[in-house]
Amino acid sequence: MISEFSRPSDKDLNRLASLLGDRITKDEPIGPYTTYRVGGPASLFMRAMSVDDLHAASRALAKVKIPVLMLGRGSNMLISNSGFRGLAIALGPFAEQINLPSSDQDPIVVVGAMSSLPVIARQSVAAGLRGFEWAVGVPGSIGGAVRMNAGGHGSDMIASLLSVRIFHIERGIEANVSAANLGLRFRGSDLNDQHIVLSATLRLARGDKAEGESRLAEIVKWRRENQPGGQNAGSVFVNPVSGASSAGALIDGLGLRGHRIGTASISDKHANFIQADEDGNADDVVELMTFVRQRVIESHGIELRSEIRLVGFSAAISQEAGAIDQGAVSRNTQLESAFGSANNTDLSIPVPSFSEQLSDEVLAELKDAFDGDATPSANLRVVLPNDPDKSRDESRDESRDESRDNSSTTNSSLTLKTNNGRIVIVDEDLRLPVDSDHPIDEMTSSVNIAPTSDPSNIIRDSRIEARSKGVIRSLASNRRRLLTAAGSVVGVVALVLIVLASPIVGVRKVEIEGARYVSADLLIAVEKSLDGKSILTVDTRAAERRLEGDPWVESVRIKSFFPSRLVIEIVERKPVAFYIGVDNRSRVVDPQGRVLAVETGQPTQYLQITGVGPNLAPGASAGTVYKAAAQLAAGLPTELSDRVLNVGVGGPNQLVMTLRTGTLINFGPPIDLQNKLISLLVLLRRQDAKQIIAIDLTDPRTPTVKSK
């Protein structure tokens, strides 16, 4: 796939950077955002931390036309050494959530665009869901998988995709689009860089968990045995049409395994994989692709097509490497229609147009159409525009005829004329009457005019005239004074507004209160966005929304103090526990089960929730049982908190707790926890915990104690 973009000027790039402010990073290396890990920088880079950031980018791009490149996990992309001259966008943690259904819900999974395909596959199987196991061996994101209809091992995205939440960055519109309207096809779709996938909804099926895990292990084993690791983007070429050998077999038949050009080489394990060395060169990869493709054409007459998206290369180089030109983006697809029509509709009343010359046949038909009793044919006049002399002669003849027949001709005559090539129909019945149409003296057909209608008969009074002039002068003087006063008021108000909106009363000091865990980079960025702005016009609500996008932040309030001080009051969420995810990383959660942070080590300052939990991104909410475990950890009374080693998830709907004495407490389903804690306290006050092996509090009214 060719992704050749127009080259914007430095002026346009700088203007866009100015419009987006601290959201933008200049000359960001984007090779590390791909699995090849080679390639140059993007002129402008933005990590969208929320959909609001995407709306800001859309508004800026409406003012400055800059090419846009959407980055996912880069498992199907190669960046040129020169990089990308435009705006590259990557989504932040808000697009990494994975929402799995509970056992009593339909098997519908909603996943963020940046969610890893292998993680989705493993978590869905762990939840007893089947149908997405194939993705465990694809190192990409769900957004990229939707765009290219990724697949493998006998399945693809079409098999389970219901709908996709998309942000159209050109139009600034967010819409939920059915999978049927995406134009999905073999390793492709109608999506382009204007369509930013935010999340996808999948319909899976309930199935045996053990069978699902077995299938995962089978796929992973096959991948390890048949495909290489390292810096590559998977299969380079699409398998030829049905009936031909696979692309890997064709390349392998030419003995090209291990063939090297510069820092790029064909894998010894799979001939359709091209490896890049560490600190390799993107040009070497493309040159090797071109070499392989040419050898296959010469030997088999088959033109291989590249699966890899080439960014920043010329169209000629990309075509030689087998990339397919996408061509112009179609505006008439079902996908585009989901965002409404982009065409302006003219709702004005259409103006009829007429031919410059009507044929004799048409004129005859028009004449016949007006024949009849209501409109005698004698009253119909047709003047041809191309014969003015004849028209004038006919007009004079008709005038003489009309003067002769005036006594018998009524006012309701209908006339058809041509005027500059247009047909004009004059109906005397519709003409408004005038005085001359209704003479007072019917015998002489004359109109009597009253003496007062003649200006020459008006007698002028000099006193009245002088008084009128005085009144007029007084009114003019008052009007001038009013205008002067109004102008002065407007001027003063304008001056005051200019002063208040100027840096003279700009923000000089920003104080932040209550921030302990919030990202320091975010705080600095928000502080910079407020610094220097007028204290009266600064957009504090935008800053509040931006801060509230941090998972640690529960609420934000910004207070203004004239003339130049802002105070940002932050209320943070309270961390109470952590659990280990499938990826062996810790998730710190608050009492509501909301993930606040993801850490590589174990934050032992918090109570641990034992068991392997879901790989959730910051801001996502864990399942019901993990929420209950977090609430249990947060609600421990002081008398008990020092004696608890950990809380845990003992099953799909079971809570357990371990005391430091080794005593195991089974809470059963996460309901009625307060009464269960009271029962536990009463038991521990009556008995020595060192002598107790286990306590079952499934029914708090009749707890069961197992002693040594």
Q: What would the pLDDT profile of 336-345 be if each residue is shown by its tens digit? A: 777 765 444 3
Cα end-to-end span (Å), the chain = 70
CB-based burial of residue 453 (10 Å sphere; 0-12 exposed, 13-18 middle, 19+ buried)? exposed
Round the CA-based radius of gyration of the chain to a whole number and report it.
41
Tens of pLDDT, residue by residue over 282-318, are 999 999 999 999 999 999 888 898 988 999 998 889 8
- Who wins on pLDDT, 349 or 508? 508
The DSSP annotation for 490-543 comes to HHHHHHHHHHHHSGGGB--EEEEES-SSS-HHHHHHHHHHHTTSBTTT--HHHH
CA 184 centroid distance within chain: 19
Q: Helices marked H in 409-519 — which ranges? A: 462-501
Cβ-based neighbours of 24, under 8 Å, separated by 6 or more:
16, 17, 44, 45, 46
Is residue 639 annotated as part of the catalytic site, yes or no? no
pLDDT at 63 over 70: yes
Dihedral sign from CA coordinates of 397, 398, 402, 404: positive
Q: What is d(CA 146, CA 162) in angstroms, rounded to the nearest whole number? A: 11
Q: What is d(CA 623, CA 579) in angstroms, rounded to the nearest whole number? A: 12
pLDDT band at 464 (very low <50, low <70, confident <90, very high): low
Q: Among residues 115, 124, 199, 235, which one is catalytic?
A: 235
Q: What is d(CA 683, CA 677) in angstroms, rounded to the nearest whole number? A: 10
Q: Among residues 15, 47, 187, 203, which one is catalytic?
A: 187
Region 40-48 average pLDDT = 95
Question: Residues 413, 419, 422, 423: what is their CA dihedral angle, to the nearest 10 degrees?
Answer: 10
pLDDT band at 481 (very low <50, low <70, confident <90, very high): confident
Give CA angle at 12 (11, 18), nearest 5°.
90
pLDDT at 418 over 50: no
Tens of pLDDT, residue by residue over 431-460, are 445 444 444 444 444 444 444 444 444 445
Q: What is the pLDDT of residue 602?
A: 84
Domains of the chain and any CATH numbers = 2-93 (3.30.43.10), 238-306 (3.90.78.10), 504-572 (3.10.20.310), 577-707 (3.40.50)
What does each C-alpha distance from 681 to 656, 667, 677, 686, 692 come to in angstroms?
A: 15, 13, 6, 9, 13
pLDDT band at 142 (very low <50, low <70, confident <90, very high): very high
* pLDDT, averaged across the chain: 80
Q: Hunting for tokens 């995407």 — which residue is that?
A: 54
Q: What is the pLDDT of residue 261?
A: 95
H/E element holding 183? none
pLDDT band at 376 (very low <50, low <70, confident <90, very high): very low
pLDDT band at 470 (very low <50, low <70, confident <90, very high): confident
Q: Among residues 28, 307, 527, 572, which one is catalytic?
A: 307
What does each C-alpha distance from 708 to 656, 667, 700, 703 come to in angstroms?
A: 19, 20, 21, 17
Give CA angle at 599 (596, 603), nearest 5°.
85
Region 684-705 average pLDDT = 87
User: Is 36:289 a contact under the CB 8 Å cutoff?
Assistant: no
Region 512-520 average pLDDT = 88
Tens of pLDDT, residue by residue over 94-105, are 898 899 998 888
Q: What is the pLDDT of residue 83?
A: 93
Looking at residue 325, what DSSP letter applies?
Answer: B
Tens of pLDDT, residue by residue over 210-229, are 999 999 999 999 888 888 88
pLDDT band at 504 (very low <50, low <70, confident <90, very high): low
Q: What is the pLDDT of residue 493?
A: 78
Looking at residue 254, what DSSP letter applies?
Answer: T
User: Is 71:90 a contact under the CB 8 Å cutoff?
Assistant: yes
Is residue 235 annotated as part of the catalytic site, yes or no? yes
Region 473-498 average pLDDT = 78
Q: What is the pLDDT of residue 16?
A: 94
Tens of pLDDT, residue by residue over 596-645, are 999 888 888 899 998 778 888 888 888 788 888 998 888 888 888 888 98
pLDDT at 273 over 80: yes
Q: What is the pLDDT of residue 613?
A: 81
User: Is 132:168 a contact under the CB 8 Å cutoff?
Assistant: no
Q: What is the pLDDT of residue 465?
A: 67
Q: What is the pLDDT of residue 355?
A: 41
Q: What is the pLDDT of residue 405?
A: 47
Cβ-based neighbours of 572, under 8 Å, separated by 6 or more:
514, 515, 516, 517, 518, 552, 553, 554
